Amino acid sequence: MTTNTNITNRTARSLRGAAIVLTATAALAGSGTAALAGDAGHDRVMRDVARSVLSVGVPGYVARVDDGRRVAVTTAGVADRATGRPITARDQFEIGSNTKTFVAVLVLQLVDRGQVELDAPVERYLPGIVANGENITVRMLLNHTSGLFSYTSDPEFFSRMEQDPQHVFTEEELLAIAFAHEPNFAPGQGWSYSNTNYTLLGMILEELTGTRMPDLVRQRITGPLGLRNTYYADPYATNTGRGYAHGYAISYAGGTPEYVDVSDRPLGGWAGAAGAIISTPDDLSRFMSAVLSGKLLSRAQLAEMKTTVELPAEFPIDGGYGLGLLRIDSPCGTVWGHGGDTLGHHSTAVTTADGRRTAVTDSTGEPAELEPNEGANRYVRVVMAADTVTICRMLGKPAPESVLADLHS
């Protein structure tokens, strides 16, 4: 569920291999079309981005960019390979770890209400659940400094999922997988992205409120903001409205992309509070804007959210991680947001510090291989470059030539 902003264990492995200069040929998936509003320059840039993303075998791509003056929407390819239905900007999709920003908002709302203390130990809220929980704080869960091993980093996790794709994991099962591994470091002594942290935060939220996560998201975020097409998969995506973008696991091992439609799998049954939300480009844009403009939190808690820990040098972007919020120091300027990878989607959602400009993207394919190969490496290189170009478009600046070179690699 991690992306270029936070990257799944599988994609991270591909990323490490992407430093090697590789050439690969991938089939164009579906017939690409683009529909945009805005100036001709924007049209050319985003059409180019869409073509490049589809060239690595991604079936469908959507980007919504609000540069503070106008909203431009690009769509390319198909939402469903079986029917050939074109993807639209109204289609719902799995947002993966963008969910973490929702969860962080819910926790910080409880801080505002005096029900949670950021620097209180996890043991206070979940007694007996986490070994060394008296030394791990809520803040450490939120900003990934707890040291807890991520259950998705277990070498057998995704293989186990493939053996029983419809299995709905309980929180206890996910924690058992995570806690079978030693911590990555002592609490507060490093930074390591861990979906386990957000599983625990979801448990804290449900324990303190007596309300299940799907209802908390609806009652405290999507309802007040009027996000009618955003919900927590429980465990499946069911309320798909006028359109749903299918997600595909793409195998590049044979040279030509091969696809498995994974959109019928129980996202909420393995991603949970770490990545189970379904949304649309419009809704996700409105949410991110609301967060950074202070509509969901007090000024004090927004300041806490934006207090970041610097990302390690080996992480594939420059920036810092706050409380469920990533600071991205892109070549065109600093933005705030998150990203998400599921079994079949790669998405990003970013905004400026004042929430006035936003960019949301979704690519409806994700490399299936656990180990990198030429096709998967090219996917990572091109899709990450596409994310950067989109940020630059949001900020009204040209992307560096080095990024454009990766986009066209």
Q: What is the pLDDT of residues 318-373, one digit of tens each?
A: 999 999 999 999 999 999 999 999 999 999 999 999 999 999 999 999 999 878 89
Ordered structural domains, the chain, with CATH: 9-407 (3.40.710.10)
pLDDT tens digits, one per residue of 24-73: 222 222 333 344 333 344 578 999 999 999 999 999 999 999 999 999 99
Looking at residue 370, its pLDDT comes to: 76
| pTM exceeding 0.85 | yes
Looking at residue 30, its pLDDT comes to: 31
For residue 317, pLDDT over 90 is answered with no
CB of 236 closer than 8 Å to CB of 353: no
Q: Which residues touch 322 (CB under 8 Å, ≥6 apart)?
A: 142, 143, 304, 305, 306, 307, 308, 309
Catalytic residue among 14, 52, 55, 97: 97
Rounded Cα–Cα distance for residues 63 and 76 (Å): 9
CB of 66 closer than 8 Å to CB of 220: no
Our answer to whether residue 52 is catalytic in this structure is no
In this structure, the dihedral spanned by the alpha carbons of residues 282, 286, 287 and 293, taken in order and rounded to 10 degrees, is 160
Percentage of the chain modeled with pLDDT above 90: 85
Looking at residue 31, its pLDDT comes to: 32
Q: Which residues touch 67 (CB under 8 Å, ≥6 apart)?
A: 357, 393, 394, 395, 396
